[in-house]
Amino acid sequence: MSAPTTSDIDLTVTQNAAVEVRKFMEAEGVTGEAGGLRVSVQSGGCSGFKYSLVIEDKSAEDDFVLSGDGFRIFVDPFSAQYISGVTIDYVTSMQGSGFTFKNPNSTGGCGCGSSFTA
């Protein structure tokens, strides 16, 4: 597998999710010009990998930097191989509200919604 490039990373943040990201950025005093949302994949979770979302005030040197709706999206090289095709949404239901991840490349998952198998 060749190393991904920024154009290889197809990451979608829905309008609902973008609104929430901007709220979190404002609450933390992070501007969209320099800061943004870090989307990463980490080992662990119920199914082998788990997603992580963190507001950061700047990107790391080796990050892929994508454009969001009023903010930047930072993806590290390890996570980039698992992120392409993912849609991040924010849903509100009777069970609560939070970010959800739809990954067409995952081969399995669990009920928590933030853990997957690749």
In a domain, 80, yes or no: yes
How far is Cα 42 from Cα 23, in angstroms, rounded to an integer?
Answer: 24
Q: Is residue 68 part of a domain?
A: yes
Residue 91 within any structural domain of the chain: yes
The predicted pLDDT at position 25 comes to 96
Instruction: Report yes or no on 1 lying in a domain.
Output: no
Q: Do the domain assignments include residue 25?
A: yes
Whether 41 maps to a domain, the answer reads yes
Nearest-angstrom CA–CA distance, 52 and 104: 17
- Domain assignment present for residue 113? The answer is yes
Highest mean pLDDT among 1-5, 89-93, 110-114: 89-93
pTM above the 0.95 mark?
no
> What confidence tier does 109 reach under pLDDT thresholds 50, 70, 90?
low
Would you state the structure tokens that stand for residue 14, as one six-digit string? 């829905």
Q: How high is the mean pLDDT of the chain?
A: 84
Q: Assign 103 to helix, strand or coil.
A: coil
Count Cβ neighbours within 10 Å for each residue of 7-36 and write b for 16 or more, e otherwise.
eebebebbebbbebbbeebeeeebebeebb
Q: Which pLDDT band holds residue 3 (cuts at 50, 70, 90)?
A: low
**Has residue 115 got a pLDDT over 60?**
no
63-75 tens-digit pLDDT: 999 998 999 999 9
pLDDT per residue over 29-72, tens digit each?
999 888 999 999 888 756 678 889 999 999 999 999 999 899 99
**Domain assignment of residue 43, given as a range:** 6-117
How many whole angstroms separate alpha carbon 25 and alpha carbon 29? 6
pLDDT of residue 60: 94
Q: Count of domains in the chain?
A: 1
Query: How is residue 80 written in tokens?
Result: 């980039």
Residue 48 belongs to some domain of the structure: yes
Q: What is the CATH number of the domain that holds 71?
A: 2.60.300.12
